[in-house]
Each structure stands twice: as C-alpha cells, then as structure tokens.
Chain A
Amino acid sequence: MTEILQTRALGKTFGGLDAVSDVDLSVQTGEIHCLIGPNGAGKSTLFKLVVGTYAPTRGNIVFRDRDVTAQRPYQRVKEGMSIKMQTPSVFRELPVRQNLHIALQHHVASQALAQEEDRLLELLELSADAGKPAGVLSHGQQQWLEIGMALALKPALLLLDEPTAGMSPEETFRTGELIQQLNGTGVTVLVVEHDMTFVRQIAQRVTVLHFGKVFARGSIEEILADQRVEEIYLGKPHEH
C-alpha cells in the first residue's frame, strides 16, 4: 500500500503550549484511519494543520507525494482532499440541493448536475428535504449534508472531524455504514473521533494522540488490546 498522507515531525505551538509536537502520521491509500485521544490530546489541532486552516510551527505535510505544507485549504482541496469540520458548516440560508450544487459545480458538467444532485440526495436520505433551507435540517441531517458536500468533490482523501458529534446512536451507526460504503468505492478516510463505539465500527488503523504526541498506533485490535490506551482514556496513571 502507498501512503496518501504523511506528516513529518509536525508541530504547532500556541504561545508556550505545544498543542501538537513532532507528529509523524501516515495514512495508507484506501484505508479508514482513525485519530483518537482524550480531550485536549491535540486531535483537532492536528486535523486543522492537515486541512490548512492552521499553519504549522514546524514540520511538513506531504499529500500524494507533494509537499502541501504552504498551501491554503482550497489548494489542498484541489489536490484531492475533502474536508468536514467538527461543527456542521452548511450554507444555512440556501436550499439543501443548492448546497450540493455549489460543491458539485467544480467538476460536474452543467447537464449532469441535476442527476448527480439527485444521486447524492438519495444516498444521504435527504431527497424529501431538497428544497428546504439547510438551516432547518436536524443536526444529524446537517452533518450528513456536509459529508455529502465533501463527497461531491470526489476526493482521494476524505477528512472528517468528529462526524458523529451530536448524533443519536442510530444516526451514528448509519454514518458509520455510510463511511464504510464510501471506503468500499476506493475513498481513503481519515476520521478524528473520540466515540470508541464508532471507532470500533469503522477503523482499520488507529493513531492515538496524547498531550500532542503520538502515543500509540496500530490496527484497531492492537489499540483495543493496549492497556496504556485504556489508561489514558480512563485517566489512570501510566508510564511512557
């Protein structure tokens, strides 16, 4: 397997605080990779560094064999990343269909747009709400819509920051199925998550962050069997 995304000694300092420190992350093409860790571990900061909304203090980010460290978010999207942030950020005043239209119009010919919108609306189970402003959708539906907008870009790497935040257990499970379905079509997925039930459902490989550093990495089975990981999640004392 080839690496689609690598971070090399990546670091971000806020004032005197090292939010992320010397992180070497490696995401293989075609996998679902989960980034987990307790609150304050630096997951979201690392995600924002990868996405480009934060500039790193040191280190590099390599995506599809190209150094994208200095690129702005829109340039990384053009390289093949697609991003869903932690809080749903849809175009609230615009109809659901137009939200998808704006995401699709990049690379889909005008005559095929409506068909592609219909396909995504069906996939996201939002066909009945296509004409409603996105702001009136439920929280879970907005999360799905945003995932749909990210998918509309036909990404090589889908980046999801806590995609199930605020969802019911049923919605969470359905989201897990959706991600696996997408992964089955060849999309690599990097997910930041702390819901271990959800991580168990989808993860193939896991990287654990703690105090801004890589604490452990391996298959989901290896991580679940690692006593040290359980300790940091439960807050028990441990030794590095």
Chain B
Amino acid sequence: MLRLVNGPQTVGNGPAFWISFLVVLVGALVYPLFADAYDVGNFAYFLLWVFMALGLCLMWGYCGMLSFGQTFFFGIAGYAYGVLAINFGGGTMTLAALVLAVLLAALAALVLGYFLIWGRVGGVFFGIVTLSATLVLAFFLGQTAGPEWRIGEARLNGFNGMKGMDPLNVPWFDDETLYFEGSSLYYLAIGMIVLVYLGLRMLLNSRFGNVIVAIREDPQRAELLGYDVRKYQLVTFIIGSSLAGLSGVLYTSWGQFITPSSVGLPAAAMPIVWVAFSGRGDITATMVGSFLILVAFQTITVHSQQAALILMGAMLLTTVMVAPQGFVIGVARLVGRLFRRGPSARAGD
C-alpha cells in the first residue's frame, strides 16, 4: 500500500524528493520554536486553505472537472460546524461537529455531483453550474440577518456572519482542555496536511488514479475500457469537495466566525488562481504553490487589498498565457531535469 506514494501520477518519486520532503517537514515542525506566536498563527491560517486547493487539484488537474464550487462546500461545512458547535454546547463536542460538518459537505457534493454528472453537464458548463450554486448560497446567506434565521441556538446573522462557536478542542492532561489555536492549530494543520497529501498520493497512484487521469484524457475511451466514468467522476467530486469542507471547518474554528463573503465570487475565484498558478497537474506543486501565494497575498493585503486582488488577476492571466501547466510545476520539472542522472529516469523525478 505504502509503495503507492510513488507512481506515475505524482511528481517527485526519488530519494532526493523524499529527503527534501522530510527536511521541509522537520523545518515546519520546529518553526514555532523560533518564530513569533503571531506569525505561527498566520501560518496556520495559510495552511487551512491548502486542503481546498488540493481538492480542486484532484478534480480539475487529475479528473478534468473544473469546479467553481469549492467555496460552496467550504461555506456549507463552515456554517455547519458553527451551527453544530454552538448547539452541541462546544467543548470536546467540536470534534463531532468537525466530522459531521465535513460529512454534510460530502453529502451536498453527492447530491450536486449526481445531478451534474448523471445529467452529462461537462466542460465549461460544469464550472458555470458550480459557480451558480456558490453564488446562490452566498446570496442566501447574505439575507439571513433577521432573528428568524436561526438553527437552534445558532443565528446565521446575514452579512455580519455567524460567530460565537468554540474552536476545535480536545481533553488534555491534568483535566486541561487543548484548544486548537495559534501553534496547536498550526501543528494540527501540518499533521492533517501530511495525512491528506500522502493519502492523495496513494489514491492517485492506485488503480483509481489511473482511471481518473484516463477520464481527463478521453472519457469515451475510458468508458470503452469498461469503466463507469460517472461513478469515478462522482467519487472524485465528493473527495475534492469534502476537502474544501475541511478547509471551511478549520477556518471557522480558527476565527470563530464565518461570513457569506467567504463563499462569494471573489473567494470562489481564489482556489482557481492558486491551482492554475501552481500547476493543476500535480498535488505537490499545488500544495507548495498555494501556500506561497497565500503568504504573498496576505503580505500585500496588509498594504492594499485592491493591489492583492489585482496581483491575483495578473497571475491568472500570466499563467494562462505563459505557462498554462503552472509555474511551480514548470520549475519543479526544470529542477528534475537538471538533477536527472540517467536517460531512463522519469521527468520530474
């Protein structure tokens, strides 16, 4: 099973790659020991979004489904976490809220995906319909300001957003409670990213991964090899959308609030920019690239939010025109070629 972490669908399969991976991981683990607590909290915030980017990479880069609906599932799970955490009374029940909220996002993906995929909605129309769903949800959440818009104890609060939920927490030693905030949230995010990243690598290099890249290349040919293309697309859509849901839960837990603006159009466009710029064809490129873009975006936002948005637009345009496969994957492949030792080595090893 573990051998599947290496394979044809993932860039970086040699010892050099895994040594680099371990060095970066160790660096990430010791970073909070040396860094300012504020910076660690900020890094935790950047890491929260990586799940959503990985989910889009899986759907778009590997299976050919451009979903504009990542923030739709982000919003569903984020709001669900808030509603459940408040109604469960917080505390350690927040872990149950996390699981249920992600499951709810998966269920929403199952329903939406079923109608899209069984209804043969493909290509650009897949993006249009998922974007429409996102905008409908954002619009709906925006008009929930009245006191009648409450679920149990949780008020949705319209544009002001829902607030007051506990952050994720677990019982700790000496009857203490460990709240996942600051450096503990940072470590939680690192641990989850490692698990999700390795899990996706194994999935992509398995038989399932072979089939979804075949579907991306030629769905009819894939069906003529005996694969029920619809089922593979639906499962991929559910996994990718659930990862967006996980981002939504962690985001709500991080800030203890969520607003409709985290679902709307500008937010919905961001994952597309991250993944396109990074390189949708590989999850490592997406993970690294998305993190770097988020750091850059935040740094520029401190000075001017408008400038940061313009930069995102410029990056998307430049990617489409200059490096349609993505900048990070381009650099990774270039480095791979430089270090390639023999003619039989795979590109990107």
Q: Does any Cβ of A come within 8 Å of B202's Cβ? A: no
Min distance, Cβ A233 to any Cβ of chain B, angstroms: 30
- Kindly report which residue of chain B lies nearest to residue A83, judged by CB atoms: B224
Interface positions, chain A 76-96, Cβ under 8 Å from B, are: 77-78, 83, 85, 89-95
Q: Does any Cβ of A come within 8 Å of B228's Cβ? A: yes
- Kindly report which residue of chain A lies nearest to residue B224, judged by CB atoms: A83
Interface centre among A72, A73, A93 (most CB of B within 10 A): A73
Contact of B225 among A51, A94, A98, A149 (CB under 8 A): A149
Tally of B interface residues using CB under 8 Å = 20
| Inter-subunit contact A91/B224 (CB<8 Å) | no
Contact of A74 among B210, B214, B226, B346 (CB under 8 A): B226
Q: Does any Cβ of B come within 8 Å of A106's Cβ? A: yes
Q: Does any Cβ of A come within 8 Å of B303's Cβ? A: no
Q: Does any Cβ of B come within 8 Å of A101's Cβ? A: yes
Size class of the A contact interface (CB-based, 8 Å)? 20 to 34
Q: Does any Cβ of A come within 8 Å of B315's Cβ? A: no
| Inter-subunit contact B225/A77 (CB<8 Å) | yes
| Inter-subunit contact A102/B226 (CB<8 Å) | no
| Inter-subunit contact A72/B210 (CB<8 Å) | no
Measured CA separation A72–B118 after assembly (Å): 13
Q: Does any Cβ of B come within 8 Å of A201's Cβ? A: no
| Inter-subunit contact A73/B221 (CB<8 Å) | no
Measured CA separation A93–B220 after assembly (Å): 15
Please name 14 further chain A to chain B contacts, defined as beta carbons within 8 Å, in addition to the given A74-B224, A74-B229, A77-B223, sorted by A numbering: A73-B223, A77-B224, A77-B225, A85-B220, A89-B220, A89-B224, A92-B218, A95-B8, A102-B222, A102-B225, A106-B225, A131-B346, A153-B225, A153-B226
List residues of chain B with CB within 8 A of the CB of A178.
none
Contact of A98 among B210, B218, B220, B344 (CB under 8 A): B210
List residues of chain B with CB within 8 A of the CB of A106.
225-226
Q: Does any Cβ of B come within 8 Å of A103's Cβ? A: yes
Instruction: Provide the A102-114 mask, 1 if CB < 8 A to any CB of B, else 0.
Output: 1101100000000
A105-B207, A105-B210 known; A74 and B228 CB under 8 Å? Answer: yes
A interface residue numbers (CB < 8 A to B): 51, 53, 72-74, 77-78, 83, 85, 89-95, 98, 101-103, 105-106, 131, 149, 153
Contact of B213 among A53, A77, A91 (CB under 8 A): A91
Measured CA separation A106–B217 after assembly (Å): 18
- Kindly report which residue of chain B lies nearest to residue A152, judged by CB atoms: B225
Measured CA separation A212–B224 after assembly (Å): 25
| Inter-subunit contact B223/A92 (CB<8 Å) | no
A-B contact pairs, 7 of them (CB 8 A): A73-B223, A74-B224, A89-B224, A91-B221, A94-B8, A95-B8, A153-B226
| Inter-subunit contact A98/B217 (CB<8 Å) | no
Instruction: Provide the B311-349 mask, 1 if CB < 8 A to any CB of A, else 0.
Output: 000000000000000000000000000000000101000
List residues of chain B with CB within 8 A of the CB of A77.
223-226
List residues of chain B with CB within 8 A of the CB of A94.
8, 213-214, 217
Interface centre among A85, A93, A102 (most CB of B within 10 A): A102
List residues of chain A with CB within 8 A of the CB of B8.
94-95, 98
Q: Does any Cβ of A come within 8 Å of B88's Cβ? A: no
- Kindly report which residue of chain B lies nearest to residue A103, judged by CB atoms: B225
Min distance, Cβ A174 to any Cβ of chain B, angstroms: 23
Measured CA separation A60–B346 after assembly (Å): 49
